Amino acid sequence: MPHLQSENSFAYIGPDNNNSISNNDEQNIFLNNLNKFVDKNITPELWNLLYKGAQEEWDLNIKMLVPSVVADLITKELKEYSVGCDEIPMGESCDFIFKTWANFKERGYDLTYFENIHLLPTNHGTLRKLKTNQKCSWNCIDDNEAQPLIENLALSLLSKYIISLENLMEVLACLKASITFPTNIQIKLQPREAEIIINYLCLLHPDDTTNDIVKYFPIFSEVGKEEPIALLPNKRNWYLLPYEDEKDYGQIIAPNTEGFLDSSSPNKKFLLENIQYISELFDDERPFPAGIFSENFRDIFLTSLKAL
């Protein structure tokens, strides 16, 4: 048995009455806190007696090993643990996390006890808390033994803590929930990267409540330009040219408050027309939206376009 230093110190027994040590046993996981456990090498008779005493709450400094105790032990094992940080460096904790999830699977613990602990390994060398304002996305992590095990645990248990990239609505809601929104999504993208996001966002439905976030993605471009831009917070009125005319007008002349967006790909056109409701500048019935430009400017503008 461990040496108990004071009446406020406890050793823990359990969580079941099995005193054999399996690969996923707590005494193979919490190596820095072995003094917190009743030694499983004692005789079965003594083990059973102490187990009964802990269960029935005899006047002993031995208590049952319950999930809240396990949670406390995990925080002691994680060298970088921080109450205020959603993410911490993984460091050398990968093997520990692997064993911890194996233990969770074997014990069938309620994960709500572990919500504020960094248990989710990410693909950039960190551990993320189970419960955060911005959920962790679930995808394949290279060379990570813990992932298939966590999947095996049943993703249904983790669904309140992580999101699948297939759930586009939840992904967007998560991005919007970040305290750094919208700067968290306004990163510099290469044209190919912007195209990938456009293709992904095309899974949206016109009636989805998170569609307004699309305006903040730097995935669009002006006619005749390649640099990806976001529609917001840019304070311009945006319009589309008829697709067959986009490449015929050359350089566009317009006030700084107006802009013309490239819609040359079907997916980009879908996002602009059906998700962001960007309309064409003119059509057969209405050369210009009324009230936007002066009549004199509209005449000069059309004349200039045809001359280019």
Asked whether the whole model's pTM tops 0.85, one would answer no
Q: 29 and 84: one domain?
A: no
Q: Which of 148, 165, 182 is the last residue of a domain?
A: 165
In a domain, 57, yes or no: yes
One domain, residues 84 and 107: yes
Domain shared by 34 and 93, yes or no:
no
- When the pLDDT of each residue in the chain is averaged and rounded to a whole number, the result is 80
- Across 73-80, average pLDDT: 93
Percent of the chain scoring above 90 in pLDDT: 31
Residue 53 has pLDDT above 90, yes or no: yes
Q: Are residues 125 and 233 in the same domain?
A: no
Whether residue 283 sits in one domain with residue 259:
yes
Total domain count for the chain? 3
Structural domain span for residue 22: 1-65
Residue 11 lies in a domain: yes
What is the predicted pLDDT for the residue at 284?
47
Mean pLDDT within 36-59: 92
Q: 84 and 60, same structural domain?
A: no
Tokens standing for residue 212:
């307004």
Percent helix, strand, coil in the chain, to 5, is 40, 10, 50
Phi then psi for 237, rounded to 5 degrees? -90, 125
* Mean pLDDT, residues 165-173: 82
Q: Is residue 92 part of a domain?
A: yes
Q: Do 211 and 253 belong together in one domain?
A: yes
**Does residue 88 form part of some domain?**
yes
pLDDT band, residue 191 (cuts 50/70/90): confident
244 and 278 housed in the same domain: yes
83 compared with 178, residue with greater pLDDT: 83
- pLDDT of 218: 92
Q: Minimal CA–CA distance to 161: which of 196, 113, 96, 103?
A: 113
